[in-house]
Chain A
Amino acid sequence: MTALLERLEEQKIDSALTPKKSDSYFFHVTAQMFDQMIETGVIDHESRVELLDGNLVEIEEMKPEHIDKMDVLNQRLVLQFHSKARISCQNSIDLPLDGRPLPDFALVHKDRPRGRYTLPEDVYLLIEVADTSLQKDRDWKTMIYARDGIKEYWILNLKNNSLEVYRDPEEARYTTSFTLKVGQLATCLAFPNDPIDWFSGLEDTIVLTG
Chain B
Amino acid sequence: MTALLEQPQHAGRLMRFSLSLFEQMLELGLIADDARVELLDGQIVELPEMNQPHVNAIKHLYDGLQRIFSTRADVYAQSPIRLPSDGRPLPAVFMVHLGAGLLETPNPESVYLLIEVAASSLNEDRKTKLALYARDNIKEYWILNLVDKQLEIYRDPKDETYITPLVLEYGQLATSLAFPNNPIDWFSSLEPSGGSQ
**A204 CB–B CB distance under 8 Å:** no
Looking at chain A's contact residues, the main secondary structure is loop
Which residues of B are found within 8 Å of A42, using beta-carbon distances?
Answer: 21, 24-25, 28, 30
Query: For the complex, is A121 an interface residue (Cβ under 8 Å from B)?
Result: no
Q: Which residues of A contact B135 (CB under 8 A)?
A: 17
Residues of A close to B15: CB separation below 8 A: 47, 49, 56-58
Interface of B, secondary structure class, is loop
B5 close to chain A: CB less than 8 A: yes
Mask, A46-90, CB within 8 Å of B = 1, is: 010100111111100000000000000000000000000000000
List the count of A-B residue pairs having beta carbons below 8 Å apart: 137
Asked if B184 is at the interface of the complex by the 8 Å CB criterion, the answer is no
Other-chain contact of B43, A26, A135, A171 (Cβ < 8 Å):
A26
Report whether A140 and B4 are in contact in the complex, using a CB–CB cutoff of 8 Å.
no
Tell me the bound Cα distance from A49 to B8 in angstroms: 17
Task: State how many residues of chain B have any CB contact under 8 Å with chain A.
Answer: 41
Identify which of residues 65-86 in chain B touch chain A, using a CB-to-CB cut-off of 8 Å: 85
CA distance A47 to B24 in the complex (A): 15
For the complex, give the distance between the alpha carbons of A4 and B45 in Å.
Answer: 12
Whether, in the assembled complex, B185 has its beta carbon less than 8 Å from a beta carbon of chain A, the answer is no
Residues in B neighbouring A1, C-beta threshold 8 A = 4
- Are B1 and A17 in contact, with the CB atoms below 8 A? no
Known: A13-B13, A24-B45. A147 touches B30 (CB 8 A): no
Decide yes or no whether B3 CB sits under 8 A from chain A.
Answer: yes
A49 CA / B17 CA spacing, docked (Å): 12
- Beyond A16-B160, A27-B46, whether A53 also contacts B123 by CB under 8 A is no
Nearest A residue to B124 via CB reads A23
Contacting residue for A17 out of B25, B121, B131, CB 8 A: B131
Chain B 111-137 per-residue mask, 1 if CB under 8 angstroms from chain A, else 0: 000000000010110011001100100
Q: How far is the CB of A104 from chain B (nearest CB, A)?
A: 15
Q: Is B180 on the interface with A (CB-CB < 8 A)? A: no
- B: which residues have CB within 8 A of A? 1-16, 21, 24-25, 28, 30-31, 37, 40-46, 48, 85, 121, 123-124, 127-128, 131-132, 135, 160
Query: What are some 9 contacts across the A-B interface (CB < 8 A)?
Result: A18-B40, A23-B123, A47-B15, A97-B2, A97-B4, A135-B8, A139-B8, A139-B10, A140-B8
